[in-house]
Amino acid sequence: MRRKVVLTSINGVGIGQTATLDLPVGGRRYFGLFLIYKTNAAQATIEADITEVRLIINGKPQRRFSAADLNVVNATNGLAFTVGYLPIILAEPRRRTIAGEEGLAWGTVGVSTFRVEIDIAVGAVAPTLTAFAEVDDIPSPLGPIAKWYKETFIATGAQTLNLNTLPKRDAYNRIHARSALVTRMKATVDGLEVYDLDRTTAGVVMSRRLSLAQQVNNFSMVFDDSDQVTDGIPMTKSTPEGIVPVGEFRLDVTVSAAGTIPLLIERVGQPD
């Protein structure tokens, strides 16, 4: 049975501070975490005040994102903003099989520490935080999980950025370009084009799935729009000699003007 439980160990909530939340580990699986900020804070307030959240397992960050990043990802998946709430989805309910969803739950057998860190801006006014989690009590180790990390690139003008330094590990599910400047995205793996769409076409393709929607001022490159957890882009391939790492993973990002291009990247793999 999944339980909804209050998380009480939030410390350090204050203006310009990093609040911490240490979660019980061992015989518990986590399906989602839900932060409640100032009870009824508007979206703009939450996005201004919560500058970064980190999910940390055994001292290593597995997800790093701002409140604004999280709201974009949630909205892309059809989860509308609710006043005061930041839902952090771990096991993804959109997956088309029970195994696909539950396989991404964060088991904690063998995990020493599971900490959430929340950076609160110096401009915040009277911040408060509470939290609850959706859990069950099935003892399970931490297997493959959905990890998020961020990269930032600089465009010096209207151009196509040829990015070939992204880590060739895990499986890439989605890449969110958090900029209105991005007009086209292309991904190539060992010479094979796996994605090449402009912003408008990408939105139309996504719209055939009822749960997916391109967000204003963002360009989400979605590889797993089948909602099959195995449909990300793997960084390995089959050869007559067996499974080997890919040699090339290139991302071509076309932008309309100079500016900073932040990428929020979703990968599925073993914990870092």
Pairing of strands 249-255, 219-222: unpaired
Q: How far is CA 134 from CA 55, 91, 217, 248, 259, in A?
A: 16, 10, 31, 39, 39
Look at the block and give the residue holding tokens 């904690």.
Answer: 108
- Identify the CA nearest to 78 among candidates 177, 173, 228, 210: 210
**Tens digits of residue pLDDT in 63-106:** 999 999 999 999 999 999 999 999 999 998 777 676 777 889 99
Q: Which of 122, 142, 162 is the last residue of a domain?
A: 142
Q: What is the β-pairing status of strands 60-65 and 159-163?
A: unpaired
Residue 259 has pLDDT above 80, yes or no: yes
Number of domains in the chain: 2
Which range, of 34-38, 93-97, 99-103, 127-131, averages the lowest pLDDT? 93-97
Q: Within this chain, do residues 167 and 255 fall inside the same structural domain, yes or no?
A: yes
Average pLDDT over residues 155-163: 97
Q: Are residues 47 and 117 in the same domain?
A: yes
pLDDT in tens, 165-223: 999 999 999 999 999 999 999 999 999 999 999 999 999 999 888 789 999 999 999 99
Cβ pair 251, 165 in contact under 8 A: no
- pLDDT value, residue 53: 98
Indicate if 121 and 159 belong to the same structural domain.
Answer: no
What the block records as the tokens of 241 is 């000699």
Q: Rounded to whole angstroms, how far apart are CA atoms 183 and 212?
A: 19
Which residue type occupies 255? V
Q: Look at residues 105, 123, 142 and tell me which one is the last residue of a structural domain.
A: 142
Listed in sequence order, the residues at least 6 apart from 214 whose beta carbon sits closer than 8 Å to its beta carbon are 76, 199, 202, 203, 206, 207, 220
Sign of the Cα pseudo-torsion (175, 181, 184, 189, in order): negative
Question: How many Cα atoms sit within 13 Å of 164 on the Cβ side?
Answer: 9
Instruction: Domain of residue 68: give its range.
Output: 3-142
- Considering the domain architecture, whether residues 187 and 259 belong to the same structural domain is answered as yes
Closest listed residue to residue 65, CA positions, set 50, 79, 75, 78? 50
Task: Examine the fold and report which residue of 115, 142, 169 is the final residue of a domain before the chain moves on.
Answer: 142
- Least Cα distance to 143 among 116, 103, 176, 183 occurs for 103
pTM flag (> 0.75)? yes
Q: Are residues 74 and 165 in the same domain?
A: no
CATH number of the domain at 9, please: 2.60.120.730
Q: Are 86 and 180 in a shared domain?
A: no
